[in-house]
Structure 1
């Protein structure tokens, strides 16, 4: 008979926790590396559209992952939390969707693209905050402890360098604007390299370095390396989008699959799949309407941008583990990631 494994505190855990923990760690590492490899291997020539394979990966990593956030609101505890914090979970998302829809109609796309620089800066900062969270969870669940200050600082500095690299090189974002910041691209690379050095220094000082943690940490630290390695959009940026989305879908998928009283096994995963795929189809459709001469179509494009930003806002609240509610939510669904 298999016995439960003891935690550091001596409390027995079900054997399945080890399997689920390994699934998350191995899945996060494999999906992240595969995302970057696929984006590079499948990247079209400069100026061409992505093929069906890369387009499908981008659909899953972008639109489907954004839509999956709506699944959280199928949980009664999340709806109750949202009602007690309406500013973040109700007012801000509604205002973002309405505001960007109106702006996309009122402002010609040739000028609206300048605002997209700020949108992309926020989006990629959101990516790096997730990377920080992934590395922190990997350290905790592997018994390596929380991230040290240099380790956290390294990830965020490297992220700032990567974001700066994209903003100084807007054609990597497929934006037709010239901010005349291209000469600062080497400075952005220097910031990225400095962040990587700080993170590696912190990692070297760590006493416990389980290999899965090291892999997740290095992926998080060097996440923006393709921005500086490639000069065309898809190999430079698509891997970031796909890896981020797949990491998110894996974690939310594990949460949705957790047993819930009064629910049939698999019901949460079924609901997540339906919401993510159907919502993703709608978001993907709206994301291509920016050039439409029809005002209603451009409003849908603006609403799409607002929905993505609403995803940033909602996630920033639901995954903030220093707050009590997110800790309870994760402890109920993925307790094996919050303790070794």
Structure 2
């Protein structure tokens, strides 16, 4: 693994080759771990083999990464980012929660069908924006240059294909209960062709870059393997019949990535005392996140009949239970909303905070990240 000496230029408690390698390893491992566990997830001999059981066991753990976003409001240095745009970080989340809850209370099955299609799309987009950030962070460390515009577009295109391939209700066809429902077969076929074409273009790009490397330099194999993984991030949707198990594979990867990033961000404060305090705070909030999400998920599970599709679940037959699902769903939307702004490196406060917590990645040139 290549780590440039220039990337260690900023002093700080986490500014060392050991920390840089640990961060790189954690991001790589979390990116691929859930995909490597596919046999266990897909096997009918394991408790995770059934999609609904997989949701019951893994959903609360993966969902806890959304609550981990609250750490940013407890970190003194991170609060400077919040203070720079209080309306965005403090007012709009309340609006999102209220609007989503009210929508679920009054909306019928058809309206909720369109909402789930929208929610699926914005979820996949959020995942892929984080993947762009992951590759932007690691590309200079694993190789000899930053992420190119073409590579960014490749990863983003993979997200667009994922949006077309995946939409709630999970165990029904894409865009079920919308005007696109009858076009299901056409959408699936066209999306599969688009996925194959995109992967062919990505492989062509990798081969071209490897052949064009300067004489005497090491091949950037790991960098381009990561690129292919991120471009083809949603391949389980085309391979695994149980869409919920397929979803949990890349959703789990996304959640573990976020835990890794937030763990290093929390632990890499200024000074030894800062590291210890941040570490204790991070562990405590992580535990609270898992318990809170677990309780909410269990309550939702008891309300849900556990067999019907999400849009046809009995939980939506009563306005108040439907509103409860809307409330829990709004937490995801708030997480997407906050992350879309917090990690934007072009904004002064965000850039300063991320650079101060991950200094070993930025001294050799600013990675182009758009969100995490």
Q: Would you say same fold, with TM above 0.5?
A: yes
Aligned counterparts of 1:20 and 1:219: Cα–Cα separation in 2: 24
**Equivalent residue runs for 1:80-99 within 5 Å:** 80-99=80-99
Q: Which residue in the other structure is 1:308 paired with?
A: 332
Kindly provide the CA deviation profile for residues 145-185 of structure 1, in whole angstroms up to 9, marking residues without a partner as x.
Answer: 22112211111112211211224996368986461232221
Aligned counterparts of 1:175 and 1:187: Cα–Cα separation in 2: 15
Asked if the contact 1:168–1:181 (Cα under 8 Å) also holds between the matched residues in 2, the reply is: no
Asked if the contact 1:319–1:326 (Cα under 8 Å) also holds between the matched residues in 2, the reply is: yes
Cα deviation for residue 112 of structure 1 reads: 1.5
Asked if the contact 1:7–1:13 (Cα under 8 Å) also holds between the matched residues in 2, the reply is: no
Aligned counterparts of 1:87 and 1:219: Cα–Cα separation in 2: 37
**Size of the alignment, in residue pairs?**
334
Q: Which residue in the other structure is 2:58 paired with?
A: 57
Q: Which residue in the other structure is 1:180 paired with?
A: 182
Q: Which residue in the other structure is 1:164 paired with?
A: 164
Asked if the contact 2:170–2:243 (Cα under 8 Å) also holds between the matched residues in 1, the reply is: no
Q: Which residue in the other structure is 1:279 paired with?
A: 292
Asked if the contact 2:10–2:359 (Cα under 8 Å) also holds between the matched residues in 1, the reply is: no
Q: Which residue in the other structure is 2:201 paired with?
A: 198
Q: Point out where structure 1 has 5 or more consecutive residues left out of the alignment.
A: none
**Equivalent residue runs for 1:1-340 within 5 Å:** 7-8=5-6, 11=9, 17-43=16-42, 48-51=50-53, 55-61=56-62, 63-109=63-109, 111-167=111-167, 171=171, 177=177, 179-182=181-184, 183-206=186-209, 207=213, 209-260=219-270, 263=274, 265=276, 266-285=279-298, 287-288=300-301, 289=303, 291-292=314-315, 294-339=318-363
Asked if the contact 1:320–1:326 (Cα under 8 Å) also holds between the matched residues in 2, the reply is: yes
Residues 59/190 of structure 1: CA separation in 2 closer, same or farther (3 Å cut): same
Residues 323/143 of structure 1: CA separation in 2 closer, same or farther (3 Å cut): farther
Cα deviation for residue 35 of structure 1 reads: 0.6
Kindly provide the CA deviation profile for residues 128-159 of structure 1, in whole angstroms up to 9, marking residues without a partner as x.
Answer: 11111111111123353221122111111122
Larger mean Cα displacement after TM superposition, 8-17 or 314-323? 8-17
Give me the TM-score of the superposition, normalised by structure 2: 0.78
Cα deviation for residue 193 of structure 1 reads: 2.6
Residues 44/190 of structure 1: CA separation in 2 closer, same or farther (3 Å cut): same
Aligned counterparts of 2:173 and 2:80: Cα–Cα separation in 1: 38
Kindly provide the CA deviation profile for residues 227-246 of structure 1, in whole angstroms up to 9, marking residues without a partner as x.
Answer: 11222213422201111111
Cα deviation for residue 55 of structure 1 reads: 4.0
Larger mean Cα displacement after TM superposition, 191-200 or 91-100? 191-200
Kindly provide the CA deviation profile for residues 11-68 of structure 1, in whole angstroms up to 9, marking residues without a partner as x.
Answer: 476896222222222222223322123244223659945447x74333222x111111
Q: Which residue in the other structure is 2:311 paired with?
A: none
Aligned counterparts of 1:48 and 1:174: Cα–Cα separation in 2: 20
Aligned counterparts of 1:269 and 1:152: Cα–Cα separation in 2: 31
Residues 159/311 of structure 1: CA separation in 2 closer, same or farther (3 Å cut): same
Larger mean Cα displacement after TM superposition, 167-176 or 265-274? 167-176
Asked if the contact 2:7–2:362 (Cα under 8 Å) also holds between the matched residues in 1, the reply is: no
